[in-house]
Amino acid sequence: MARGKKIYEGKAKTLYEGPEPGTLIQYFKDDATAFNAEKKAVVDGKGVLNNRLSEFFMEGLNSVGVPNHFIKRLNMREQLIRQCEIVPLEVIVRNYAAGSMSKRLGIEEGTRLPRPIIEFSYKDDDLGDPLVPEEYIIAFGWASQQDMDDIVALALRVNDFMSGVMYGVGIKLIDFKIEIGRVWEGDFMRLIVADEISPDSCRLWDIESGQKLDKDVFRRDLGNLTDAYTEVARRLGVLPTNGPAANSTVIN
Ligand code: UDP
C-alpha cells in the first residue's frame, strides 16, 4: 500500500504516517538487535512472524477489554495502529527470575517469584535504558502517580492474559516488556498498550523441556530464531500462509 511519510525508525520497526489523522502504519523489519544494538543480524521472516503474533496478542487483549493501539493488520509486515504519545518507560513484568534480574540479584534463572514483579526502565538508548524507581518517574514528570497506578493495572492484566494464553499452548511466560501510550479523547487522556507484544519482548520457555522460544535464542546463540518464533506461532495457530517464514522448518 502507498505509504505516508516515515515518522520514526527503530531497531525492529519503522513507523509511517497512516491513512487517517491519528493513525500510523507500523512496519516490522527482519532486523534483530541485542545488548543495546551491540549485536545485530537480519533474521529472515522475523518481521512477518512478529507482525502476526503482535496482532494475535493485541486482538486478544482487545477482546478481554485491555485497550491497545492495534487497529488492523494490513499485510505481511504492516499493521495499522492508533497514534499515541509513548510514555518513555519500558514496563517489565516478571513471573520467574531471568536475564538482568538474575544477574543483579544472583537468583537462578527460572526461579518462580513470590508474585509478579513490575519494574521500569527509562527509555534512552544512550543511557542503556536504566532501571528507575517510581519516585524518579514521578519526580521527573515522565508519568504521574495516577498514570503509574493505571500502568501497573494494565501491566498486570496483560500478564494474566499472556500467561494464560501461553500456558494453554505449553509455554511458560517468564517475563515481558510492554510500552504504554497516551491518547486523548477530547480533554480526557487514556493510557493504552502500544508498541508490540512478540517473542522479541517476552521470555517464553517450553513448559516440558525448558527450551527457549524467544529472543534469548539470538542473544545467546542458542539456534535459529525464526524456527523458535515459528514454533510459538504454530502452537497459537497463527502462521502466515505465505512468505519467508511459512517455509521454515518447525522445531518440535
Ligand atoms: N526487554 C525488551 N526490551 C528491552 C529490555 C528488555 O523487550 O530493551 C524484555 C526482554 O526480552 C525480557 C524482559 O523485557 O523479556 C526483561 O528483560 P531483562 O531486564 O531481563 O533484560 P535483558 O536480560 O534482556 O537485558
Q: Quick one: pLDDT at residue 1?
A: 55
The CATH H-level (homologous superfamily) assignment of domain 6-84+225-246 is: Phosphorylase Kinase; domain 1 (3.30.200.20)
Higher pLDDT, 245 or 42: 42
pLDDT of 244 strictly over 90: no
Q: Which three cell numbers stand for residue 227?
A: 524456527
* β-bridge partners, 131: 121
- What contacts 24+ positions apart, CB below 8 Å, involve 212-215? 213/171, 215/32, 215/34
Q: What are the strands, taking DSSP E only, across 186-241?
A: 188-194, 202-206
Q: Interior CA angle at 250 toward 249 and 252, to 5°?
A: 135
Q: Quick one: pLDDT at residue 48?
A: 98
Share of the chain above pLDDT 90, in %: 92
Q: Interior CA angle at 18 toward 12 and 21, to 5°?
A: 135
Take atom 10 of ligand 1 and give the residue whose Cα is closest. 201
What class does CATH assign to 86-206? alpha beta
Ligand 1 contacts CB of residue 90 (under 6 A): yes
Decide if 6-84+225-246 and 86-206 have a common fold.
Answer: no
Q: How confident is the model over 69-100, as pLDDT tens digits?
A: 999 999 999 999 999 999 999 999 999 999 99
Ligand 1 contacts CB of residue 100 (under 6 A): yes
Rounded to the nearest whole angstrom, what is the distance from the C-alpha of residue 160 to the centroid of ligand 1? Answer: 18
Confidence of residue 197 (pLDDT cuts 50, 70, 90): very high
- How far does the chain reach from its first CA to its final CA, in angstroms? 36
Q: How confident is the model over 9-30, as pLDDT tens digits?
A: 999 999 999 999 999 999 999 9
The structural domains of the chain, with segments of one domain joined by +, span: 6-84+225-246, 86-206
Nearest-atom number in ligand 1 for the CA of 177 is 14
DSSP assignment of 74-116 equals -SSSEEEEE--EE-SEEEEEEEE--HHHHHHHTPPTTPEEEEE
pLDDT of 159 strictly over 90: yes
